[in-house]
């Protein structure tokens, strides 16, 4: 069994009870739905309700759009969800991977070429703690560079 009080979860007793009761109450179909994280390609309430309520997806992946639309969609889908959704975006080189108004930072390989860890910190802070959190999205990043680096020896 996982130690939900330890890193990386740090849950308290009330949170652990919620997790255990929620998991125990879910059907196999609902658990399977939680694995899916489709592209957030629409702000249409009918489409969103189908994904969230009928399929029961566990998250949504956003492509860049107007920040206000992203925020409104985020609020709408979270209010529909029985279980809080994990929300993702391509913020690997800045908040412009989430919203048109986002800050553009250098591509990760360019930042790495500076050989200055402070630049990597600034990029992550700008993309994740800055823009993505401001617009309510950023539970995780869909970064092709991270995937590429896993393939290197």
Residue 145 has pLDDT above 70, yes or no: no
Q: Which residue has the higher pLDDT, 104 or 68?
A: 68
Residue 24 has pLDDT above 80, yes or no: yes
DSSP 3-28: -TTSTTT---HHHHHHHHHHHHH--H
Q: Which residue has the higher pLDDT, 53 or 112?
A: 53
pTM of this structure: 0.77
Over residues 112-124, the pLDDT tens digits come to: 888 888 888 887 7
Q: How far apart are the first and last CA of the chain?
A: 33
Coil, strand or helix at 86 = strand
Which residue, among 83, 18, 23, has the nearest Cα to 57 in the 3D structure?
83
The answer to whether residues 77 and 47 touch, using CB atoms and an 8 Å cutoff, is no
Helices (H), 26-132: 28-33, 45-49, 67-80, 108-113, 117-124
């Amino acid at each position: 069994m996982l130690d939900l009080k330890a890193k990386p979860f740090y849950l308290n007793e009330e949170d652990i009870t919620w997790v255990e009761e929620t998991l125990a109450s879910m059907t196999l179909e609902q658990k399977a739905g939680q694995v899916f994280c489709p592209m957030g390609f629409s702000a249409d309430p009918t489409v969103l309700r189908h994904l969230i309520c009928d399929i029961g997806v566990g998250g949504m992946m956003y492509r860049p759009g107007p920040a206000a639309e992203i925020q409104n969609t985020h609020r709408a889908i979270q209010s529909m969800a029985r279980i809080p959704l994990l929300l993702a975006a391509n913020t690997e080189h800045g908040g412009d991977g989430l919203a048109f108004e986002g800050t553009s930072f250098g591509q990760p390989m360019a930042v790495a070429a500076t050989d200055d860890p402070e630049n990597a910190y600034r990029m992550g802070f700008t993309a994740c703690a800055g823009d993505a959190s401001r617009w309510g999205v950023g539970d995780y990043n869909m970064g092709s560079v991270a995937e590429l680096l896993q393939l290197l020896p």
